[in-house]
Amino acid sequence: MTTEPPSPGISISKTAEPSTLDVSVGPQHPGSGHCRILIRVDGDYIVSADPDIGYVHRGCEKIAEYRNYVSNIPHLERPNIADAIHLNWGYVLPIEELQGVVVPPRGKYISTIAAEMNRIMSHLYGLAIMQGVFSGHTTIFMWAFGDRDLFIELAEMLTGARLTYSFLVPGGPRRDLPFGFEDRLSRLLDYFEKRLVEYDRIFFSNPSVIARAKGIGVLKREDAKKLGVVGPVLRASGVKYDVRKVEPYGAYADLEFDIPTFEEGDSYSRYLIRFEEMKQSVRIIRQALEKIPKGPIARKAPLVAPEGEATGRVESSRGEITYLVMGDNSDKPSRVKIMNGSFRNLIALPFLVRNVHVADMPIIYGSLDYWPVEADR
Amino acid sequence: MSQVSLSREEAIIGQLKARFPEAIEETKIDRARRVTIHFEKDHVQEIAMFMRDELGFDHVKGVAGVDLPTQKKIEVLYFAGSYSNAEVQDFIVILKAQLPRDNPIIASVVSVWESAHFHERETFEMFGVKFEGHPDLRKLLTLDNWEGPPPMLKDIKFPEMGQR
Amino acid sequence: MYEGIKHIFKHTFTMKYPYQKVLLPKGFRGRHLLYMDKCTGCGICAWICPERCISMVPVTDNKEYPQNPEKRFPQYWYARCCFCHFCTEYCPTGALDYTPDYELAEYDRELLLWSPERLSRPPTNIGEYQSVFHGKDGNQGVTFEPVIKQKSK
């Protein structure tokens, strides 16, 4: 039983070699999102990278102690607004466990349908911005955003808002499926499957994309497990781990779907895995629309939570989000701790961008699908 | 309603208690697949190494701090999970250590669980807990020139947020 | 490359905004509509609001409100509202409703503080709409019975 030295690249040395230059890929940059990455460059090769995050830190966990359980829902879904249902659901699961509220089956199916729609929307966003714009491919940016808007209109029909849903409260979803929703969603899924074939032809089989992304930023399986990465980054490195299969929540126990994995662990497989996950999401939604039972959708939940703590987790589009909620017999939580996918994947960035060209850094950074607001909370 | 068997959870607790009889203070099974273990803070690296090598918990999902002003303690929680061991893949084992509130110091587990690197940095700046042996302990999320007290402590109140 | 060129000849999706507007679904979460003959002034909307943008103010007019003897009604500060509509759902008497009105921009910030009378006027530039909350189109609504905290004066 031994301790191990830290992996190379993760701890940044304060003293630099004279031949290196510190370049700030700063917050005012089209390729960095709302964070700053301080890279140390020797010629055209990156020696080390230091993620300087915290530009959008708002103290979500501190504010959460000052609002009651239901009022916290819009606050806690804002960190990753493109994937709001999952952040919402992960917060609501431990509260329901503390209070002993069981959601009826129809409510679980509605939450599952909304969550999988949200996963497709978030992967389309990642495809457009992180993988498209950061590598210079603006056609996929336009196409993916256009198709995402069709899903947003359906979500507006279901919840009433385009992006800021606040759809799940402790006890179940807020609204039932409106009249005509199933029909419109099935037609959209038929159209979307045809579009996925077109995406494959223009982006995933595009020789310039393959040349830029294949073999770059390889994360081997043992390193992925040691660094504790989550989500598509983990599955693209060969570890078959998905919370929807490991600890099923919602309606996932009754539905059939696969977990795609790739063995190579390079940036191109991290691109492809989101494409495969979108196909699986379409399959899940179709099954859920057939199997959805009738009945009530929600139960009344009390407004206070007893003393105790509970941990709940969901699989969002960027990885596993674990929530710790501690109650103290009042209507406000005494501690909410959020461990989300972007923050846990951050450790892969300084590990992977060593001895790569400067031009490969946006590719690696985009393939990790790092969302600065979610990591900073 | 049949009772769900908690044999795997009890096996983990049994192995830990057999190996560290004096360091484990209290154990609890919250529900299936959730085990909470309170331990003495001086043995954190040994317990972490045992969990990694013998039980197969190869990463932490997060390191949290909880401020308990009435007991004058700060609690540090480690959420251990496993990717490699298929038997405990669905577990979250929560390891808790209590530190005195005026001088919270604990050894760092980064040399055992590399995944705790950024989490320990965040707990350091938010609660003031010093992790000895961390290779790069500095502020992560707050402003570079933030000189104030650790923000997440309960007696630090920001008046704009309203009453509790 | 062929894929890209194929799309030049397809039609565009852009809507010319002030002349063509999007058709909004029922239950769209725009601004709120207050039914002053149903509001009892309990203050649950103010308690549940995540942004603390609702405050209960006295209304001075000549009408009588038998269900609200103190004549306290909610006042909304739309500069902070996040349009989550928890207030609409948790209101025990159904005094708040959804409207498809989203064009709320003003030149002065003070005009974003909407008094109860202004909230009770239905939007004039939108056609017929129906609310999901009252279940008029057969939609299954959710009923909540929260604990009513009596605010002591």
Where residue A91 sits, what CATH number does that domain have? 1.10.645.10
A159-173, A189-203, C2-16, C87-101: least confidently modelled range: C2-16
Which comes out higher in pLDDT, residue C49 or C63?
Answer: C49
Q: What Å distances lie between residue A89 and A2, A75, B105, C21, C125, CA to CA?
A: 39, 13, 35, 33, 37
ipTM at complex level: 0.89
CATH number for the region B7-161 comes to 3.30.460.80
- Model confidence at C18, in pLDDT bands (50, 70, 90)? low
Q: Give partners of A (≥3 CB pairs < 8 A).
A: B, C
- Å between B1 CA and nearest CA of chain A: 15
Q: Does residue A239 sit within a domain?
A: yes
What angle, 0 to 180 degrees and rounded to 10, lies between the N-to-C axes of helices A105-125 and A267-291? 150
On the question of pLDDT at C119 being above 60, the answer is yes
Supply C65's token pair. 């409100």
By the CB < 8 Å criterion, does A298 face chain C? yes
pLDDT single digits (tens) B38-63 = 988 888 888 888 888 888 888 899 99
- Token look-up 């928890």 returns C86
Percent of chain B at pLDDT exceeding 90: 6
Task: Tell me the one-letter amino acid at A164.
Answer: T
CB-nearest to C89 from A157, A172, A174 is A174
Domain limits at A287? 60-341
Question: C49 CB contacts (<8 Å, ≥6 apart)?
Answer: A71, C86, C87
Residue in A closest to C50 by C-alpha = A71
Do residue B140 and residue A53 have CB atoms under 8 angstroms apart? yes
What angle, 0 to 180 degrees and rounded to 10, lies between the N-to-C axes of helices A84-99 and A105-125? 150
- Model confidence at A12, in pLDDT bands (50, 70, 90)? low
- Token look-up 């009378």 returns C117
Question: Helix (H, G, I), strand (E, B), or coil: what is residue A231?
Answer: coil
Q: What Å distances lie between residue C148 and C40, C43, C144, CA to CA?
A: 11, 8, 11
pLDDT single digits (tens) A225-243 = 888 899 999 999 988 899 9
Report the Cα–Cα distance between both ends of chain C, in Å, rounded: 72
The answer to whether A147 and A124 have CB atoms below 8 angstroms apart is yes
The answer to whether A372 and A60 have CB atoms below 8 angstroms apart is no
Supply A94's token pair. 């431990």
Partner residues linked to A309 by β-bridges:
A326
Which comes out higher in pLDDT, residue A23 or A117?
Answer: A117
- What average pLDDT is seen over chain B? 85
pLDDT single digits (tens) C25-35 = 777 888 888 88
d(CA A40, CA A25): 10
Q: Does residue A129 sit within a domain?
A: yes
Q: What is the pTM of this model?
A: 0.87
Q: Does residue A144 sit within a domain?
A: yes
By the CB < 8 Å criterion, does A161 face chain C? yes
Do residue B141 and residue A376 have CB atoms under 8 angstroms apart? yes
* Number of domains composing chain A: 1
d(CA A246, CA B91): 9
Using the 8-state DSSP alphabet, how is residue C136 labeled?
A: T
Please state which of the four CATH numbers 3.40.50.10860, 3.30.70.3270, 3.30.950.10, 3.40.50.300 is assigned to the domain occupying C26-138. Answer: 3.30.70.3270
pLDDT single digits (tens) A13-56 = 666 677 888 888 888 777 777 888 888 888 888 888 888 888 88
d(CA A307, CA A326): 7
Give me the pLDDT at residue B163, please: 62
Question: B152 CB contacts (<8 Å, ≥6 apart)?
Answer: A61, A62, B65, B67, B126, B127
